[in-house]
A and B are shown apart, each in its own frame.
Chain A
Amino acid sequence: MSRFNLYQDEFHPSPWRQTWREFKRSHVAMAGVVVLAIFAFIAFFGPLISPYDPTLQNTDALLVPPSWDASGTVRYVMGTDALGRDLFSRLIHGAQVTFGTSVMLVLIAMLVGVAIGVMAGMSNGTRASVINHLLDALMVIPTLLLAIIIVAILGTGLVNSMWAITLALIPHFVHHTRNTVRELMNKEYILAARLDGASKTHIFVHSLLPNMIEMLVVQWTIALSVAILDITALGFLNLGAQGSTIELGAILADSVNVVYIAPWNIALPGLTIFAMVFAVNVVGDGLRAALNRRLRH
C-alpha cells in the first residue's frame, strides 16, 4: 500500500478558468483584449489622462500637425484641429463617449432582448408566434436605418440616438435567443430537469443559460460592433451627439472641411474607431472559439 496519494494535488479548474486558459492560447485574441482593456480604461479614467481640456481653443496653434511630422510639436501629440483644440484630448473624450455608451446600450438591449426571447421560446402558441413574427419582420430593416427613423421621431441628440440603437438591436437578441431556447427545450436533459420538479425559472437559470452563453457572447460582440458603428454614423450625420458632446463620429464630421489640408484630423479618429471595432470582433471570436473548445473538446 502506498502511503501517499500521487494525485492528491490534482487541481480542477472552474469553468471560467478553463475558458480563460483556452482563450489565452490565441495570441491575436489576447492582443484584442489588451486593446479593449485600453479602451475600457479610457472609458473610466479618460478625463484624468487627457493633457488638455478638449474644448479649449488655442488660436495660436491652428491645424498643428501630429508630433511625428517635421512641423509638429510635442505639446500637441496628435496635432490640433481647425479651432486649435488638442486632437489627442478630443480622441480620448470621444472614445470614452462612443465606447461607454455602446457597451451600455448593448447591455440594455441584451437584457431586454434575452428576456423577451426566453419568454417567447419557453412558451408556445399565439403569444410566442406573435412576438416572434412581429420582431422578425423588424429585422428586415438595417439597424442604422431603423435608428435614423427612431431619431427622426424622438429628435436628435446623443441620448435619443442611444435609445434608437437599443431599440433597433433588441429584435436581433430576441430572434437568436428564441431560436436557441426552442432548440434546447427539445433536449432530453430539459425533460430530465422537469422530471426533477424544476420550475421554469430553474430550468432557465440552470439548464438553458449555461448552454446559451456561447450564443450570447457572439451576439454581444456583433451587437457591440454594430452599436459602435451606428453611434459614430449617427454622430457623423449630425443626428447623434450634438454641440459640446465630443464623440468620434462628430469629430469626423467636424474635420471633413479640412480633410485636404489636415488629413490627420480624419485619419486618427477613423483609426480609433477601426481599432475599437476590430478589437471587439477579435475578442468575440476568440471567446467563442474558447467556449466551443471547452465544451466540445
Chain B
Amino acid sequence: MKSQNIKVLSVVVALAALAIIVPNSNSFVILLTTRALALSILVMSVDVLLGYTGLPSLGQAAYLGVGAYVTAILATRYQFGLGYDFWIVALLGICFSAALAAVFGLLAIRATGVYFLMITLALGQCAWGLAYRWNSLTGGDNGINLRARPKFGIDLANEVTFFYLVFGFFAVSLLLMYTLVRSPFGRSLMGIRERELRMKILGYNTWLHKYLAFIIAGGFGGLAGVLWAHTAGIVSPENVVLTTSVDALLMAVLGGAGTLVGGVIGAMIVFGLREYLSTLVPWWQYVLGAVYVLTILYLPTGLMGIPQRIRQRRTLMGRRNEMKKIATVTS
C-alpha cells in the first residue's frame, strides 16, 4: 500500500516538474513534448488493452485517425471547433472513435493472442484504406491542412498555451485511466489477462468486459487524435498507417506494459531519440530498432520494471554471498 503511494507521488512530482520545466525551454522542446504527450494518451489506451487486459491491439491508429479527421474535417469544411465549440469537437472525436471501436470490437473481441493482433491489424488497415482512398472526404494522400488552432479566451496558436492544454488533457486522461485500472472493472481486466476461463467460471461475462475495455481504449485514442490534429496542423493517411499502431504498441512495451506511465516514458524516449538522432545520423532508425529489440530481449517488463529487477538481483546476490559465507565456514 505504502509503496503504491510513493509511486503515485513520484508520478505527480514528475508531471509537475514537466509542467514547470518544459514551458521555459526552447520551442523545439515544447513542440516535441506536446507531441509526445498527445500520443501518450494513445499509448496509455494501448496499455489498458495490452498491459491490463492482455489484448495486443495493432490497430489503435484507426481511433487516432478518426479523432484527427473529425477535427480536421469539421474545422476546414464547417469552421467548427475553432472557438469554444472545440470542446464539442473533442467530445465528438471521442464518441466517433468509441463508436468505431464498438463496431470493430464486435469482430475483434472473439479472438485472443496473435489472432486478436491480426484482426486489429486488418481492421486498422481498413481505416487507413478509407483515409487514403476517400478523396472527397479526407483529401486522400494530401491530407487536410488545419489553418488555425482554436481560440477561446486563450489563444492556442501560442505554443506554451497549447502545451498546457495538451498537458491538461493528458493529466486528466492519466487520472481517468489510473482510476479505471484500480477499479473493480480494472481488476476484472487483469483477471481476464491472467486466466479468462476462470473469470467466466467466477461469473464474469468476459466478452463484455473486454468489449467495454476496447471501446474505452478507442475513445481515448480518439481524444489523442483530436489533440494530434491541432498539434501537427496536418492530418494525413500517414497518421493512420500501421507504423503509428506499431509505434504505440512498442512505446507501451518499451516503458513497461501494465503500468500506464511506462507508456508515457516510452513515448518521450522514442520521440526524443527520433527527433535528435534524425538530425545527427541518417541511420537513426536502426538505433530505434536496436532499442526495441534489446528491451524485449533483456527488459521484458520494460523500463518501469528496472527497479524490481534490481531489487531481485540484490536479494539474489545477498543470498549467494550468504551461501558463500556458509560454504567457507563449513569447509
Decide if A and B are genuine partners: no
